[in-house]
């Protein structure tokens, strides 16, 4: 899902990118990266997306496709 499919669910998102791992480490993995202005914006987005019809409908389906232990949530801080 991205902002083109559900623009109202992405109003807090500053930027959104998906990367495919191509070399080294775990081959062919994907990373989805979302940028927010603040942690408060992230929390607002997370709460909104969890209650959305999209999440309720597709959460079980996406969970069945995810390798156990392969999904993580990380908060990164810019250093440059």
* Number of domains forming the structure of the chain: 1
pLDDT tens over the chain, length 80 residues: 555 677 777 888 898 888 887 777 666 677 888 899 999 999 998 888 888 887 777 777 777 777 787 777 788 887 87
Terminal C-alpha separation, the chain: 29
Q: Is residue 76 in a domain? A: no
Residue of 75, 16, 72 lying closest to 43 (CA atoms): 75
Only one residue has tokens 């999440």, namely 55
Q: Is residue 19 in a domain? A: yes
Q: Is residue 79 in a domain? A: no
User: Which range marks the domain in which residue 41 is found?
Assistant: 7-64
Contacts of 75 (CB under 8 A, 6+ apart): 39, 42
CA distance 11 to 74: 20
Q: Is residue 58 in a domain? A: yes
Q: Is residue 2 in a domain? A: no
Give the predicted TM-score (pTM) of the model: 0.66
Q: Is residue 74 in a domain? A: no
Q: Is residue 12 in a domain? A: yes
């Amino acid at each position: 899902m991205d902002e083109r499919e559900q623009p109202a669910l992405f109003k807090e998102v500053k930027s959104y990118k998906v990367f495919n791992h191509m070399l080294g480490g775990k081959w062919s993995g994907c990373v989805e990266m979302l940028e927010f202005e603040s942690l408060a914006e992230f929390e607002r987005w997370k709460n909104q997306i969890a209650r959305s019809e999209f999440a309720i409908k597709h959460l079980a389906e996406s969970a069945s496709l995810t390798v156990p232990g392969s999904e993580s949530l990380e908060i990164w801080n810019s250093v440059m």
